[in-house]
Amino acid sequence: MSVLQVCPLLPSVERALTEGYQAVRLFERPGFLAAHGDEVVAAVTSSRFGVTNEQLDAMPKLGAIVHFGVGYETTDLAHARARGVVVSNTPDVLNDCVADLAVGGLIDAMRRLSAADRFVRRGEWNHPLATKVSGKQVGILGLGRIGRAIARRLEGFDMKISYHSRTPVGGVSYQYVPSPVALAAEVDVLVVATAGGPATAGLVSAEVLDALGPAGYLVNIARGSVVDEPAMVAALVEGRLAGAALDVYADEPNVPPELLDVDSVVLFPHIASATHETREAMGELALRNLRQFLTDRTLVTPVE
């Protein structure tokens, strides 16, 4: 019986996998599956790498794919389920840090904080005026756990909050808007917090960006695939959007070079969950999923 570590992970997680499970590090032994794939019963991976269908099919006894991260779009969930493989992720433990970064990016983009920092470092002082944050209208695309955490924080800025999700969300007072275009048309800031994957690819289209308009701001802490990146880049470069805060990109780690010198855009290197506390909590939950699967074939946080 083997546990497979697909990709590099948090050092504490790697130590636990090595010491507790003698996990095989696939990224260091690329030929392992061809010779020993029939020995693997569980695979531990990250949201970035997932498990490819080719890898999955090389492991006939695989029973579980454990993701370090809330996203799992890099694993073909339908294919895994057709094979009887259960899949887990690490929800909830990263909600606060992702929401914090979304709000921080929103404030940075609207008040031009990073741009002002660069201004001072160049020896300048009379920085151009920015945009007020408090009291603005904000639209949240995807009112799941993270989207609701973002909304709660923005309430403290006296913002009017509306949202679009596949279906209206019960138990919230925020206004539901029936389409991304309609949502973008009525807000000052559009915050993208929906899941990634084929179902949401290009959801923030050129039409949505046009509806947001030259006074509108875009914040994306979801996945780069959710936004039509060429359309977004063109809108920012041409001044058809007021600004953006981006933590994710379509082809990570590659950032569109056209944005590197655009002062109205704040660029983060996919760090929304990148705090010591959150990453350790993610690792602990991933290991709990692995341990429980190997004990009784169930998961703590299965993907539904």
Contact at 8 Å (CB) between 11 and 32? no
CA distance 164 to 218: 15
What is the rounded average pLDDT of the residues 233-243? 98
What per-residue confidence (pLDDT) applies to 46? 97
For 302, other C-beta atoms within 10 Å of its C-beta total 13
**Residue ranges making up the domain that contains 65:** 2-93+276-296
Asked whether residue 123 falls in the same domain as residue 76, the answer is no
Asked whether residue 197 falls in the same domain as residue 162, the answer is yes
- Of 148, 223, 229, 279, the catalytic one is 223
Give a yes or no: residue 301 inside a domain: no
Q: Is 252 a residue of the active site? A: yes
Contact at 8 Å (CB) between 160 and 171? no
- Of 111, 240, 270, 291, the catalytic one is 270
Give a yes or no: residue 67 inside a domain: yes
- The residue behind tokens 């294919």 is 79
Instruction: Compute the mean pLDDT over every residue in the chain, rounded to the nearest whole number.
Output: 97
Asked whether residue 67 falls in the same domain as residue 89, the answer is yes
What is the rounded average pLDDT of the residues 79-88? 97
What is the rounded average pLDDT of the residues 229-250? 98
pLDDT in tens, 42-78: 999 999 999 999 999 999 999 999 999 999 999 999 9
pLDDT in tens, 148-180: 999 999 999 999 999 999 999 999 999 999 999
Give a yes or no: residue 172 inside a domain: yes
Q: Amino acid letter at 100?
A: D
Give a yes or no: residue 174 inside a domain: yes
Asked whether residue 84 falls in the same domain as residue 114, the answer is no
CA distance 289 to 302: 8
Asked whether residue 59 falls in the same domain as residue 153, the answer is no
Give a yes or no: residue 203 inside a domain: yes
pLDDT of 192 over the 90 cut: yes
Query: 304 pLDDT band (50/70/90 cuts)?
Result: confident
What is the rounded average pLDDT of the residues 262-282? 97
Give a yes or no: residue 304 inside a domain: no
Q: Order of strands across the sheet with 64-68?
A: 24-25, 2-5, 40-46, 64-68, 86-88
Give a yes or no: residue 169 inside a domain: yes
**Residue 91, exposed/middle/buried by CB under 10 A (0-12, 13-18, 19+)?**
middle
Query: 35 pLDDT band (50/70/90 cuts)?
Result: very high
Q: Is 223 a residue of the active site? A: yes
pLDDT in tens, 240-249: 999 999 999 9
- Of 252, 258, 277, 297, the catalytic one is 252
Q: What is the number of domains present in the chain?
A: 2
Asked whether residue 100 falls in the same domain as residue 32, the answer is no
Query: 104 pLDDT band (50/70/90 cuts)?
Result: very high
Asked whether residue 81 falls in the same domain as residue 102, the answer is no
Give a yes or no: residue 193 inside a domain: yes
CA distance 127 to 136: 22
User: If we measure between CA atoms, which residue out of 31, 36, 39 comes closest to residue 62?
Assistant: 39
CA distance 165 to 238: 29
What is the rounded average pLDDT of the residues 248-259? 97
Strands (E), 78-177: 86-88, 137-141, 160-164, 175-176
Query: What's 250's DSSP letter?
Result: T
pTM of the shown model? 0.93
User: If we measure between CA atoms, which residue out of 247, 288, 269 comes closest to residue 98?
Assistant: 247
Share of the chain above pLDDT 70, in %: 100
Asked whether residue 112 falls in the same domain as residue 244, the answer is yes
Asked whether residue 148 falls in the same domain as residue 248, the answer is yes
pLDDT of 1 over the 90 cut: no
CATH of the domain at 26: 3.40.50.720
Asked whether residue 54 falls in the same domain as residue 162, the answer is no
Asked whether residue 114 falls in the same domain as residue 233, the answer is yes
Asked whether residue 41 falls in the same domain as residue 123, the answer is no
pLDDT in tens, 116-134: 999 999 999 988 999 999 9
